[in-house]
Amino acid sequence: MLSDEELLRYSRQILMPAFDVAGQRRLKAAHVLVVGAGGLGCPVALYLGAAGIGRLTLVDDDVVELANLQRQVAFIQDDLGQSKAEVLAARVRRINPGIEVRAHPVRLDGPALTEAVAAADLVVDCSDNFATRFALNRACVGARVPLVSGAAIRGEGQLSVFDVRLAHSPCYHCLYPEQGNEDLTCSEAGVIAPVVGLVGSAQAMEAIKVISGVGEPLVGRLLLLDAWRMQWREMALTPDPGCPVCARR
């Protein structure tokens, strides 16, 4: 049930006939795992927390650095040297004290990662390296948990939803093989600040759509952003019948 305070807090969402109280209840009942508390993770966590996701788990083993402040909008100068996950969790709690927010300032891998994914209703990948993305994908496929994947660098971004509960959905490995992909970081290639906000906000929107059951998530579709021309392009994605991760789902 939603309290009177919650009905008022989320009234602008509840007003939409397709969303209504039922959609808000689904958000309240959901547990979302956000991996990465940087440029993408900040808008994802802030918007999901404000929207009323009942439980958020934020994972990041990094600390706030001066170069982060250009685009990681949840952090301020006074946060330098502190855990990103813990600072971001505190910011979300200040926005919405009525939800549960947990910070994990550690790197999840192996059984810990598998357990964390299995405990969630949805995972949002806001990481910045292929190793983490592939590990998250394998865990999500194994646990049959939908994955909202995003990436941003320079003035470019991409976004998709992988939900192997659906027969027509590929997984992340169908799109990118594990061999032949090298990490390209923002510290090497650069990034313009608003592009991570655009992609992160879109990830939050996709998460809300998947959880609420309202709208058409980006399953089987890859959205590509060229921020310098402000163009969004869409590519169709299909499952790889030979994918070693999801072909035997």
CA separation for the pair 68, 189 (Å, rounded): 14
Strand order, beta sheet including 31-35: 100-104, 55-59, 31-35, 122-125, 147-153, 156-162, 221-226, 231-236
Average pLDDT over residues 25-35: 98
- Which pTM was predicted? 0.96
What are the boundaries of each domain within the chain?
4-236
Tokens representing 102? 């947990």
CATH superfamily of domain region 4-236: NAD(P)-binding Rossmann-like Domain (3.40.50.720)
Cα separation, 196 vs 34, whole angstroms: 15
Tens digits of per-residue pLDDT, 168-227? 999 999 999 876 566 666 667 789 999 999 999 999 999 999 999 999 999 999 999 999
* Greater pLDDT, 249 or 94: 94
Secondary structure, 3-state, 66-82:
HHHHHCCCCCCHHHCCC
pLDDT in tens, 70-86: 999 999 999 999 999 99
Mean pLDDT of the 104-130 span = 95
Phi (first) and psi of residue 147, to 5 degrees = -125, 125
pLDDT of residue 181: 60
The neighbour count for residue 133, using CB atoms within 10 Å, is 23
